[in-house]
Copies of this chain bind each other. A is one copy, B any other.
Amino acid sequence: MNKLAFKQQLIPKNSRRMHYFGAVLLAMILTLLSIHLTANAATHPNLVINQQDVAAMQQAITEPGAFRHAFEVKLKQVDIGLSQPIEVPLPQDSGGGYTHEKHKSNYQQMYDTGIIYQLTGEKKYAEYVKNMLLQYAALYPELPVHPKRKNSNAGKLFWQGLNEAVWLVHTIQAYDFIYSALTPAERNTIETGAIIPVALFLSEQSPHTFNKVHNHGTWATAAVGMTGYVLNKPLWVERALYDLDLAKNGGFMRQLDELFSPDGYYNEGPYYQRYALMPFVTFAKAIEQNEPQRKIFEYRDGILLNAINTTVSLSYNKLLFPLNDAIKSKGIDTVELVNGAAIAYGLNGDPRLLDIAKQQNTILLTGDGLKVAQGLDKQQQQPFAFNSGLYRDGKRGDEGALVVMRNGKPTDQTLVYKATAQGLGHGHFDKLTWQFYDQGNEIVSDYGAARFLNIEAKSGGGYLPENTSWAKQTIAHNTLVVDETSHFNGKVKQANEHHPTIHFYEQQQNLTLASASIDSAYDDVAFKRTFALINIPQREAVITVDILKVTASQPHQYDLPVHYQGQLIDTNFDREASLTQLSTLGSANGYQHLWLLATANLAQDNPNDTLARVTWLNDNGRFYSHSTLVSTNGKHQQMLFTQLGANDPNMNLRQQPAFIYRVEASNHTFVSVLEPHGEYNPAKEFTLGATSNIAALTHHQQAELSAVHIRFTDGEQYLLAINHSEQALTEQPRSVININGVQYPFNGRAQLLGPLNTDSFD
């Protein structure tokens, strides 16, 4: 498709004429704007950092404190860089390769050296940045598209256009830092040789990416918009904000409208949210400095600050929840969130952001970084509130939600219930899955992405084939798999069209619960899942109750996996293990990657048991018992023990264990309880509470009411009673559930009753 045809496709035919007149009008307005911008643009720097910031920072480095310390560290590092020859190599390598990493370190070095120039005023720093920019200006015009390009969004300096945009976001700031130290001729050489061609490459020459409502689009628009401010090209700013044709079908403002939900949730999940935040907050800060009248940080009820807060909230023990395609080592100390927290703190001075900044342990050399450093020097931080919460998905907040249930301190029990929409191409087929954390660790976990970032030997550092064949498949998650096929048959397009329905989310003193359902993941099968995180302080017990109700018109095979982290300790049923030969559990949809280690036939082998219990020991030294109700109505029920790693010729996968509860039925309700208990302390040579405290479970359903009855090994009994009514239950209407002839009244959405005054267990 040539460029013109492409443009025409973007603009509805009947609007083209109007568009033409609009463009003329806009050109006139932009001429006026240009005068306005020129006045501002004369004061370099003026993107993330302005001249007032520079003055304050210059003052701060004369006094002791965190900021001066950060300056001194950076200065030392920049001086080392200055002692080495400048190298701007011909682009050759993909991610992780030499030229790729060199061009990345170059833009970082130009940025760092530029800010040191601003802080010290020493010419040698400006000189260094200038010389590197001149080399780019000499190289860039001759470059073809990158030889290792992988997709339609190719770059020239890098294999992906995305990296090119990141290059420009940094480089335009570096250029802004040294602008005043350059002669007009030098500016001309650099702008015409490097900056303008890169900006045009990212915008006019890559319209699909530039106009895309997606994080690649955000990087491109931020790069081009910021360049527009520095080069005094208001049209570029407008294009960045409203798309190439100023038609508002794409662009930064449309991205702000669509990529975040009203709760600040990003549709691809927290891993990409973190990444996407960088250009959002950087460009927004530049807009705020240049055109405060746009009130960009107030836009959509302060969506950007909301999004920063949400990203930090979607973490456990400093690491982001690994939802969808996510590399697990990314956390709140990544540079994107250091930037986000600093800019947010600069705007609102919220002392809880200082708590995050303290954990990040990185002070930025920016005006906002200075404010953070001063706040920390004065020890003004207050604990960031990691609370339970409902994070609605979808631009209008009506496409499912992510539910976070937390108990106590930030590293205490945390349950993540994912009832979100698909999250585009990086989404996983994992409707109504969950994760569980405790004492700093993953307990019931998600595989995250199958990827070794930037390691060339591993598929060039990109997503591995196993990301599609395993990590995205439903069986890789802790949710229902029907007939060994993934949700939506693993089709992204279909998945993007549907989302779960949230029935309720309720938070009380010692009880948090949520319920959601989906009937579009499979043709014949609908399922509804309700989670409750219960704290029983008098028992020092925190338990998770999981009720998964599946309905269908025909019999199916239902698999419900638990991907546990730790070493299997015990089960209360016999397992038949494969001792000398292993086979795969299945042949497709992720099953081909699972070795079947052991099988247990539950109902037939254990006619009198009503609970199937699996106990494991996590590295955190605590035991975890997962107990599932075994139905006694003759259904074929098995527990399968698996390990990841089959059909993995390049040993790309981690060898994770799982157990899978398998039932053949039309309708079935899975009822499970997860209980952390005891302590294994080999250093101090003691072990306490290595066995589960839960003796029995029963489940009851009466119309809209349901109850889970729990008996502990010491005889104490509790009843979790829930009203599933679709009506709001804020007025505490009184419900009554009848169990074996005893009436149990309860209020509102749900209540934990107990200890019960009853001797017998139903």
Which A residues form the contact surface with B (CB < 8 A)? 95-96, 101, 104-105, 327, 329-331, 333-335, 452-458, 461, 567-570, 575, 577, 579-584, 592, 595, 597-598, 615, 617, 641, 643, 645-651, 654-655, 657, 680, 682-688, 690-691
Knowing A597-B651, A646-B579, A646-B580 are in contact, say whether A457-B685 is a contact too (CB < 8 A).
Answer: no
State the copy count for this chain: 2
CB pair B455–A687 under 8 Å, yes or no, is yes
Residue of B nearest to A335 (CB): B684
Which of the residues B105, B330, B682 comes within 8 Å of A330, measured between beta carbons?
Answer: B682
Docked complex Cα distance between A461 and B657 (Å) = 23
CB pair B96–A687 under 8 Å, yes or no, is yes
CB pair B680–A452 under 8 Å, yes or no, is yes
| Other A-B pairs, 13, CB within 8 Å; known A458-B569, A581-B583 | A96-B690, A329-B683, A331-B683, A453-B685, A453-B687, A456-B687, A456-B691, A457-B569, A457-B690, A579-B646, A579-B647, A579-B649, A582-B595
Which of the residues B101, B457, B569, B687 comes within 8 Å of A454, measured between beta carbons?
Answer: B687
Which B residues are CB-close (under 8 A) to A584? 580
Which B residues are CB-close (under 8 A) to A648? 577, 579
Which of the residues B333, B569, B592 comes within 8 Å of A452, measured between beta carbons?
Answer: B569
| Residue contacts A-B, CB under 8 angstroms, 17 given | A95-B687, A96-B690, A101-B687, A329-B683, A335-B684, A452-B569, A452-B617, A453-B682, A453-B685, A453-B687, A454-B682, A456-B691, A577-B649, A579-B648, A581-B582, A643-B645, A643-B655
Which of the residues B329, B568, B655 comes within 8 Å of A651, measured between beta carbons?
Answer: B568
Chain B nearest CB, measured from A625 CB (Å): 11
CB pair B580–A583 under 8 Å, yes or no, is yes
Docked complex Cα distance between A577 and B593 (Å) = 13
Knowing A580-B647, A582-B582, A583-B580 are in contact, say whether A683-B330 is a contact too (CB < 8 A).
Answer: yes
CB pair A682–B329 under 8 Å, yes or no, is yes
Docked complex Cα distance between A597 and B647 (Å) = 10
CB pair A455–B579 under 8 Å, yes or no, is no
CB pair A690–B101 under 8 Å, yes or no, is no
Docked complex Cα distance between A682 and B335 (Å) = 12
Residue of B nearest to A641 (CB): B651
Docked complex Cα distance between A650 and B615 (Å) = 12
Which B residues are CB-close (under 8 A) to A655? 643, 655, 657
Chain B nearest CB, measured from A324 CB (Å): 16
The list of the 5 closest CB pairs from A to B, nearest first, reads: A454-B687, A457-B570, A582-B582, A568-B651, A96-B687
CB pair B579–A686 under 8 Å, yes or no, is no
Residue of B nearest to A616 (CB): B651
CB pair A691–B457 under 8 Å, yes or no, is yes
Docked complex Cα distance between A646 and B584 (Å) = 15
Docked complex Cα distance between A582 and B579 (Å) = 10
Residue of B nearest to A593 (CB): B579
Knowing A579-B649, A582-B582 are in contact, say whether A334-B683 is a contact too (CB < 8 A).
Answer: yes
Docked complex Cα distance between A651 and B615 (Å) = 12
Which of the residues B454, B598, B641, B646 comes within 8 Å of A686, measured between beta carbons?
Answer: B454
Docked complex Cα distance between A684 and B335 (Å) = 7
CB pair A567–B461 under 8 Å, yes or no, is no
Which B residues are CB-close (under 8 A) to A333? 683
CB pair A327–B452 under 8 Å, yes or no, is no
Which B residues are CB-close (under 8 A) to A577? 648-649, 651
Residue of B nearest to A576 (CB): B649
Which B residues are CB-close (under 8 A) to A654? 567
Docked complex Cα distance between A95 and B685 (Å) = 10
CB pair A457–B615 under 8 Å, yes or no, is yes
Of A333, A584, A643, A651, which is in contact with the most chain B CB atoms at under 10 Å from its CB? A651
Of A584, A657, A690, which is in contact with the most chain B CB atoms at under 10 Å from its CB? A690
Docked complex Cα distance between A686 and B461 (Å) = 10
Which B residues are CB-close (under 8 A) to A575? 649
Which B residues are CB-close (under 8 A) to A657? 655
Chain B nearest CB, measured from A439 CB (Å): 15
Docked complex Cα distance between A570 and B460 (Å) = 12
Which B residues are CB-close (under 8 A) to A327? 682
Docked complex Cα distance between A646 and B686 (Å) = 29
Docked complex Cα distance between A577 and B648 (Å) = 8
Which B residues are CB-close (under 8 A) to A684? 334-335
Which B residues are CB-close (under 8 A) to A582? 581-582, 595, 646
Which B residues are CB-close (under 8 A) to A330? 682-683
